[in-house]
């Protein structure tokens, strides 16, 4: 009798984001060669792999920014291949790109207020942002570009949360940040996932992402080389990076 109950995790939770046999190319050069990925509601998938493996391209495909050559993109079980970034954003996909999605010359408050384009009132956006990242309230009038890298990433995340995403795509959140700050940011990401958001994290260097991930996948030259339990993949990752290790 317990047999049916033991089949838990991905199969019985709601899959929100799915890439099915996705191929993608830049002109004649194929960079994703049939990638399969799924992320369920409330789960975190870490997509890791060396430089140039195709991680950012996979995120851009998921956000509708980069076209699919073949295969399918599904959101909540609905085929969305061919949909553009606006449609996917409307359907609940939020991409926080590498290099922080903030406007450095605007204040923190103005950065947040810009997100009223999502239809949410200013007060609500601020409430969500300041509750999640209290430091942003203290920095509300500060020019975003003068804040620390970690604080700018918090602002980028807060802007993303204003869209009330169902699927959050994070590209190299840790870029240029101290390990302690990265750990704190990922704790916030884990909390966002606990509220039911499907989170896909792309990172080149893995440790902090693996700490909060439910699953991990290793992308090498456009193919998923391994996928599974984050702890199991730690060793596998070391092997994949050995070629580029000093």
Please identify, using beta-carbon distances, which residue of 93 and 144 lies nearer to ligand ATP.
93
Please identify, using beta-carbon distances, which residue of 163 and 204 lies nearer to ligand ATP.
204
Please identify, using beta-carbon distances, which residue of 76 and 97 lies nearer to ligand ATP.
97
- State the nearest-atom distance from the C-beta of 52 to ligand ATP, in Å: 4
Please identify, using beta-carbon distances, which residue of 221 and 232 lies nearer to ligand ATP.
221
Q: Enumerate binding residues for ligand ATP (CB under 6 A).
A: 26, 31, 49, 51-57, 204
- State the nearest-atom distance from the C-beta of 177 to ligand ATP, in Å: 16
- State the nearest-atom distance from the C-beta of 69 to ligand ATP, in Å: 13
Residue 4, burial from CB neighbour count under 10 angstroms (0-12, 13-18, 19+): exposed
Q: Do 96 and 155 form a contact (C-beta atoms < 8 A)?
A: no
- State the nearest-atom distance from the C-beta of 117 to ligand ATP, in Å: 26
Q: Do 39 and 75 form a contact (C-beta atoms < 8 A)?
A: no
Positive/negative CA dihedral, 20, 225, 217, 203: negative
Residue 12, burial from CB neighbour count under 10 angstroms (0-12, 13-18, 19+): exposed
Q: Which residues of 127-142 are buried (b: 16+ CB within 10 A; e: fewer)?
A: ebbbeebeebeebeee
Q: Give the Å distances, CA to CA, from 207 to 24, 39, 174.
A: 28, 20, 10
- State the nearest-atom distance from the C-beta of 170 to ligand ATP, in Å: 12
Please identify, using beta-carbon distances, which residue of 56 and 152 lies nearer to ligand ATP.
56
């Amino acid at each position: 009798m317990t047999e049916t109950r033991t089949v838990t995790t991905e199969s019985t939770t709601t899959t929100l984001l799915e890439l099915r046999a996705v191929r993608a190319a830049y002109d004649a050069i194929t960079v994703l060669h049939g990638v399969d990925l799924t992320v369920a509601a409330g789960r975190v998938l870490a997509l890791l792999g060396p430089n140039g493996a195709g991680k950012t391209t996979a995120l851009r495909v998921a956000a509708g920014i980069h076209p699919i050559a073949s295969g399918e993109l599904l959101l909540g079980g609905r085929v969305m291949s061919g949909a553009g970034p606006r449609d996917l954003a409307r359907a609940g996909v939020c991409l926080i790109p590498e290099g922080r999605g903030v406007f450095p010359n605007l204040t923190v408050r103005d950065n947040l207020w810009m997100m009223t384009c999502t239809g949410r009132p200013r007060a609500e956006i601020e409430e969500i942002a300041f509750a999640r990242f209290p430091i942003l309230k203290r920095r509300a009038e500060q020019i975003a570009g003068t804040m620390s890298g970690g604080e700018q990433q918090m602002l980028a995340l807060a802007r993303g949360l204003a869209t009330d995403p169902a699927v959050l795509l994070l590209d190299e959140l840790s870029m240029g940040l101290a390990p302690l700050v990265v750990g704190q940011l990922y704790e916030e990401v884990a909390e966002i996932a606990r509220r039911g958001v499907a989170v896909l994290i792309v990172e080149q260097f893995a440790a902090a992402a693996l700490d909060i991930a439910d699953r991990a996948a290793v992308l090498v030259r456009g193919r998923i080389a391994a996928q599974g339990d984050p702890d199991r993949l730690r060793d596998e990752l070391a092997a994949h990076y050995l070629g580029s290790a000093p």
